[in-house]
Amino acid sequence: MPDTHRTLIRNIRNIRNIRNIRNSMLATALLFSISACQATEETVQADFLTTVKTKEFNLELYNEQDRCAIKFNNAPEGKLLNIPYPCGFVRATPTSTAQTYHYDDTGHVFVIAGPLADKSNYKTNDSVSAKHKCSNSGQAVIIKEGQLILQKGQHITPGFCHHLGFDEKDYYGFSHPVD
């Protein structure tokens, strides 16, 4: 009987040790998870969409002299946009592809948003929030008949959201500007 009792006590201690180890592991995992969330918040611009690949063409955004530049079909040289870097293609949600519309008379239209606006810029506009990752600067580009056409850069506070997209009528306006 005493051996059975000792075995039972030893098993109970082992179970407690396993629980302590498990709790310690859970606490460590939670700590790493919190650290990862903080790192993600500090590097929010890392999720800008900078490449578009289709069967017809490839577009790539990159930094050139602290300005956003774009390469078309892996050309050795790109074109400088009129917006600062970092930049990214506008998309309707954080996980979607670049938002685009095609018009027979102008071609494929994409909008590129610049660096994130200061959080104070959101106070004047109730329709967008910091979660949409908006910029005060943006520019449309058009692909027509194998050519890259740059539209005029624009400054609208905070008018170009990386994770919100635009209505189709806005894309029509970008592709058919009225000066």
Instruction: Tell me the per-residue pLDDT of 52-111, one tens digit each, with 9 for 90 and over.
Output: 999 999 999 999 999 999 999 989 999 999 999 999 999 998 888 999 999 999 999 999
pLDDT at 24: 47
Q: Are residues 20 and 77 in the same domain?
A: no
Domain interval for residue 14: 1-42
User: In the prediction, which pLDDT does 41 show?
Assistant: 29
Do 7 and 33 belong to one domain? Answer: yes
Alpha-carbon gap, residue 69 to 9, rounded angstroms: 70
- Percentages of the chain per state (helix, strand, coil), in multiples of 5: 35, 35, 30
pLDDT for res 26: 41
Domain count, the chain: 2
Task: Note whether 54 and 114 are same-domain residues.
Answer: yes
pLDDT of residue 62: 95
Tell me: do 35 and 95 sit in the same domain.
Answer: no
Residues 38 and 51 in one domain: no
Q: What pTM value is reported for the model?
A: 0.72
